[in-house]
Amino acid sequence: MTDPAALKAAVFAAVFIALYVAHSVGDHWVQTSCQAADKGLPNWKGRLACARHVVGLTLTKAIALAPVVLLLDLPVTALGLVLGLGIDAATHYWADRRTTLASLARTCGKGEFLSLGTPAHPAHPVTAKGEYAPTLGTGAYALDQSWHHLWLGVAALIIAAI
């Protein structure tokens, strides 16, 4: 491929796919139950749990990205990788502290959606007996994942462009 713009677009696409797959694995399979439960705590235990989660997640992304870059011979730089994975890690940590993303959601008028699928939502699901019926997904989870996907795109763009 000799067109520089087309090459960068191809690198962006390949990198984004690798990061997206690795994100799903790292956020759901690599993250421990303790990290998931504790990362939002408003103390050092919470901050350390979140940091451990983000380190594991970032390593998962680097491990997934390595064969894609090497086998496809993608022209990426060490600086692009460090900046891209770094911005992804920082924004992931910020969001996973929970109160930060929840505050942003409320500020953007997404407070009701944030509580979707929980007993706090005005139209929460109920059983035939009128009791809360747990769901597999919540508004908070959807907002969390869409935030992460946004920054995966930014990270892939940085990696492809630098």
pLDDT at residue number 53: 98
User: Model-level pTM?
Assistant: 0.89
Tell me what the mean pLDDT of segment 99-113 comes to: 94
The H or E element spanning position 84 is helix 78-96
Q: Residue 67 corresponds to which tokens in the numbers above?
A: 């064969």
Condensed to tens digits (0 to 9), the pLDDT of residues 145-158 reads 999 999 999 999 99
Going by the DSSP 8-state scheme, the letter that residue 132 receives in this structure is B
pLDDT classification of 20: cutoffs 50, 70, 90:
very high
Tell me what the mean pLDDT of segment 36-57 comes to: 97
- CA-to-CA separations, 131 to 73, 99, 113, 140, in angstroms, rounded: 56, 27, 20, 21
CB count, 10 Å around CB of 154?
A: 14
Residues 6+ apart with CB under 8 A from 91: 147, 148, 151, 154
pLDDT at residue number 41: 96
pLDDT of 124 above 80: no
Distance, in Å, from the CA atom of 139 to the CA atom of 122, rounded to the nearest integer, reads: 13
Tell me what the mean pLDDT of segment 16-26 comes to: 98
Mean pLDDT of the chain: 93
